[in-house]
Chain A
């Protein structure tokens, strides 16, 4: 079974703090994704990565950065957290399209910025 883990289930940070959210997958998947999920807005793609050290902006990258130094690990960084970044953050991974298009999600991190 594919397993995607996220570093924290719940996180509380203060405005201006630097926040690291980590995601690890154990299936040797090339593709990894970071989403945020808000009521009424659904899942919105922040960044994604198709390979190590490679990243592409999603639909809402402002205020975020990412790092992928190893294939299994994809980190989301909030350089200076703001209250409007309070949300549920979901990481996902998938194999290349020729194998499967399915995305496997982690349990999510509920981040509150005070």
Chain B
């Protein structure tokens, strides 16, 4: 069955450092992969989408890579700030119907 794995342990980093979160998947051939941010008690908010034929995508301090051979996406936040503290979810879609399968998310804590 399809499986998406994100590190369940919280990631604690110091302000100003680069945070790197990992999303691995098996038994899936996604047409695209998305990253969402979720704050406590709120719904997820879309951040970035990367398609299967793209290696890398950037948006301000965010960078996403997508390796369909390794079946892995890396999500980077450069110059991290305490305001970046949240849970980050990856989601995969096969296309043609817009149904997504979500990972369980990784909690990021940026400390002063």
Which residues of A come within 8 Å of B, CB atoms?
4, 31, 33, 35, 40-43, 45, 48, 50, 58, 90, 92, 94, 96-97, 101-108, 110
In this complex, the interface size class of chain B, counting residues with CB under 8 Å from chain A, is 20 to 34
A105-B43, A107-B43 given as contacts; is B49 within 8 A of A42 (CB)?
Answer: no
Query: Is B79 on the interface with A (CB-CB < 8 A)?
Result: no
List, in ascending order, chain B residues with CB within 8 A of A97's CB.
95-98
List, in ascending order, chain B residues with CB within 8 A of A107's CB.
41-43
List, in ascending order, chain B residues with CB within 8 A of A33's CB.
99
Instruction: Encode B77-109 as 1/0 by CB contact (under 8 A) with A.
Output: 000000000000101010111111111110000
List, in ascending order, chain A residues with CB within 8 A of B103's CB.
42
List, in ascending order, chain A residues with CB within 8 A of B42's CB.
107-108
Query: Is B46 on the interface with A (CB-CB < 8 A)?
Result: yes
The 10 closest A-B CB pairs, nearest first, are A105-B43, A42-B104, A43-B102, A102-B46, A105-B44, A97-B98, A108-B43, A90-B43, A94-B98, A42-B102
